[in-house]
Chains A and B, each alone.
Chain A
């Protein structure tokens, strides 16, 4: 690669408190327009904001989970600009004394950890929603004043894949804290990106572009990939890049420069006089630190150590907190020392079923003990085949019956006794003399063909391992 991409991400996160940041209006999503507003969040003169204790606690929790230093003295500032979704004509945000600074998040790519610096995590409020029509705009202020955190990364990200992984890890980490649903579709997590290119190995930064309007993690990755291509072409053709803001158009799969007015933005930040500062003492920080559960990275490392899982499997199992709790129950109950089959069943068939029902693996109504029973019937006792196992699993989800009941009802049990299998084997040998000759002349494939024929005749119920053993014995003894 001739150029190196330098990427920084700015994430905005809704905190899932019951009420808004500065007033008692509900934060519920999807209600009638302007039904959750009051003089404070509408910015009426004379109203006085008072900050939500839970928001401050959640913000500290996120800052700590991202290894940030929580500042002892922090305050709000007014960020002034005019836009109709902002009734006060300023956003309450933080400028020079943010809640927390200098953290990091470790991301895992291809078996290696990379540390991405977090510049700051600060507190602010969301704006309202505009619905544009022919020549007017409709304003809904329900979202105005919903507590937001801004999480700014250092420009430590060097590829679209790393950006994607950073977002996935951030989301997973924050979901473990139960402070946000991190749903990009509902707008509770939003992401803007800064990207510039420089000659590989160069120290100075290139001209950066700000990317907006990405609606999914994949959108962020695609927009960055597009931008690397575009900037490379400009630089290679001897052109100069301009520092602009570009919008991602997911349909056209391209970024489009935003028309911006002359002159850099001037937000004229100043201390918010309506909100006194916060003094956050060490004991408060320690108290909140205690409420942080084992986070995905630590859990992943523990799963590898305690259950002998691969990095890939462990990472997949810990992606969600509920999923990880479920997986660990299963891993503990599985009576074999080798826990790989459990990971396979959860990451494979169970995750597929959850995906098709748009829920988590832990929400399919299957208890860990039921899943483990099924896995043991398939993998250890070989009562049913892997394929039947998947059918049984789906039936378990649909009917809430146990694996054993379904196997009996549908007579899915594998035939493993040599008595019943031998007659079928004899039949197959009689009907396939050519393959028998082939096997004897050294063609190993012929064995698999003959086993396949037995499986077919038994409608897939024969235990393939037993059939293979019996068939080999029979052919070699004849």
Chain B
């Protein structure tokens, strides 16, 4: 299993991580090892096994539609890197 630099760059972009050339080199190698390890699973024949979507044998966990108290505004904004009035403040991003 080999992974090219372009793929690592794309994944880094998706994760919003900036990588220097040296790091890119190093991570590409590491990722290759990781993927090779995971790839061992492919020796198993899973043709007749339904894909697992949840690891615990539980289902239908639901709650009643009953309001609960929300956080007070001081707590909500307590760890915000930047705030203004009741708002969180972020750098302007327009998609």
In the complex the two chains form, is A53's CB within 8 Å of B54's CB?
Answer: no
Chain B residues in 8 Å Cβ range of A135:
91-92
In the complex the two chains form, is B93's CB within 8 Å of A97's CB?
Answer: no
Interface residues of B in 49-95 (CB under 8 A from A): 53-56, 58-71, 73, 76-77, 82, 84-95
Chain B residues in 8 Å Cβ range of A134:
92
Known contacts A34-B86, A37-B76, A268-B14; is A276 also within 8 Å of B70 by CB? no
For residue B16, CB closer than 8 A to chain A, the reply is: yes
For residue B10, CB closer than 8 A to chain A, the reply is: yes
Question: Number of residues in A with C-beta < 8 Å to the partner?
Answer: 50
**How far is the CB of B14 from the nearest CB of chain A, in Å?**
6
Chain A residues in 8 Å Cβ range of B95:
83
Bound state CA distance, A138 and B92, in angstroms?
Answer: 8
Picked from A35, A83, A277, the residue with its CB within 8 Å of the CB of B70 is A35
Bound state CA distance, A273 and B77, in angstroms?
Answer: 27
Bound state CA distance, A23 and B10, in angstroms?
Answer: 34
Main secondary structure, interface of B, reads loop
**How far is the CB of B74 from the nearest CB of chain A, in Å?**
11
From B14, which residue of chain A is reached at the shortest CB distance? A266
Chain B residues in 8 Å Cβ range of A141:
88
Chain B residues in 8 Å Cβ range of A133:
92
Picked from A34, A82, A138, A273, the residue with its CB within 8 Å of the CB of B73 is A34
Which of A25-33, A169-177, A287-295, A351-359 binds B?
A25-33
Known contacts A138-B89, A139-B90; is A52 also within 8 Å of B53 by CB? no
In the complex the two chains form, is A17's CB within 8 Å of B65's CB?
Answer: yes
Bound state CA distance, A278 and B90, in angstroms?
Answer: 36
Bound state CA distance, A463 and B75, in angstroms?
Answer: 74
Bound state CA distance, A138 and B83, in angstroms?
Answer: 8
Known contacts A84-B93, A137-B93; is A53 also within 8 Å of B70 by CB? no
Chain A residues in 8 Å Cβ range of B64:
53-54
For residue A55, CB closer than 8 A to chain B, the reply is: yes
Interface residues of A in 46-77 (CB under 8 A from B): 50-56, 75
Picked from B60, B67, B71, the residue with its CB within 8 Å of the CB of A19 is B67
Contacts A35-B73, A54-B64 aside, 20 further interface pairs with beta carbons under 8 A come to A18-B67, A19-B65, A23-B68, A35-B86, A36-B70, A37-B71, A38-B68, A42-B71, A50-B61, A52-B65, A55-B65, A75-B54, A80-B14, A136-B82, A136-B90, A136-B91, A138-B84, A141-B88, A273-B54, A279-B59
Chain B positions near chain A (C-beta within 8 angstroms): 10, 14, 16, 53-56, 58-71, 73, 76-77, 82, 84-95
